[in-house]
A = this chain, B = another copy of it.
Amino acid sequence: MSGRRVSFRAIRDEMARRIGQREWAPGALIPAEEALAREFGAARATVNRALQELARSGLIERKRKAGTRVVPHPVREARFAIPLVRQEIEARGQTYHYRLLSRAEEGLPEAVAARMKLKTGSVRLHVRALHLADGAPYQYEDRWINTGAVPGARAESFEVVSPNEWLVAKAPFSEADLTVFADAATEEEARLLNVASGAPVFVVERLTWLVEKPITLVRMVHPGTHRMVSRL
């Protein structure tokens, strides 16, 4: 070919534009790779890469023999990273500190038991802790650990190592359920996080499972300024 080579990004973007502008209608069949390669003056492999990226991002669907179609209603979802608090803080260039507030084996409150699919009142490990960034309160953590699935936790004091890090190292999980919402700080949360009582706090509740077994349920409370950002 004459002139500069055509990049797969340019081809991808042009095809995305056609989909966006409805030049290629929702549900419609688009030209085959070879035809597109001729049109764009590129190798078929290059067009293929562009198409694969569009397919991966959910804009088109491809089937051998049947060809490539514009997906009528692309599926929409956002992904959020599940980081260690320590990493989250250190990634901001701040110094991390950890403080254990309490640790006890207690009977499960009804609400907690229900979510973990365990029996109300059965005894599990309850840990409360504070995570600080450059000395300022960053996250208050209230956690229940299913010692049935993670027996080693009963022998750990959590005075130096946070439950978060201990669990990551010792108890892998396969699924996580997350719930996020805003709330007004309770008296205790306000005191611990150094905000006004009733001030907005950002709460993340995370329940992790190893295949059907609950591992841990944690409620993480942040000052309202905290942002949770999807991966880019």
Contact = CB atoms under 8 A, between A and B. Distances in A.
A225 B222 CA distance: 16
Contacts of A210: 16-17, 19-20
A230 B174 contact: no
B13 A211 contact: yes
Interface string A209-232: 011110000000010111111111
Interface string A152-185: 0000000000000000101111111111111110
A231 B19 CA distance: 23
A1 interface: no
A182 B168 contact: no
A77 interface: yes
Interface in A173-215: 173-184, 199-203, 206, 210-213
A3 interface: no
Interface on chain A toward B: helix, strand, loop, or mixed SS?
Answer: mixed
A150 B17 CA distance: 10
B228 A180 contact: yes
B177 A230 contact: yes
Interface in A74-103: 74-84, 87
A59 interface: yes
A63 interface: no
Contacts of A178: 78, 80, 229-230
A87 B73 CA distance: 9
Contacts of A76: 81-83, 173, 176
A135 interface: no
A54 B59 CA distance: 23
A181 B202 contact: yes
Quick one: which of A75, A77, A229 has the most chain B CB within 10 A? Answer: A77
Contact of A149 (B20, B74, B230): B20
A20 B183 contact: no
Interface of A: 12-13, 16-17, 19-20, 22, 26, 54, 57-59, 73-84, 87, 149-150, 168, 170-184, 199-203, 206, 210-213, 222, 224-232
Given A12-B211, A16-B174, A182-B222, 19 more contacts: A17-B210, A20-B213, A59-B174, A73-B168, A74-B172, A78-B82, A78-B176, A78-B178, A177-B232, A178-B229, A179-B228, A181-B226, A182-B182, A182-B200, A182-B201, A183-B200, A183-B224, A200-B201, A200-B224
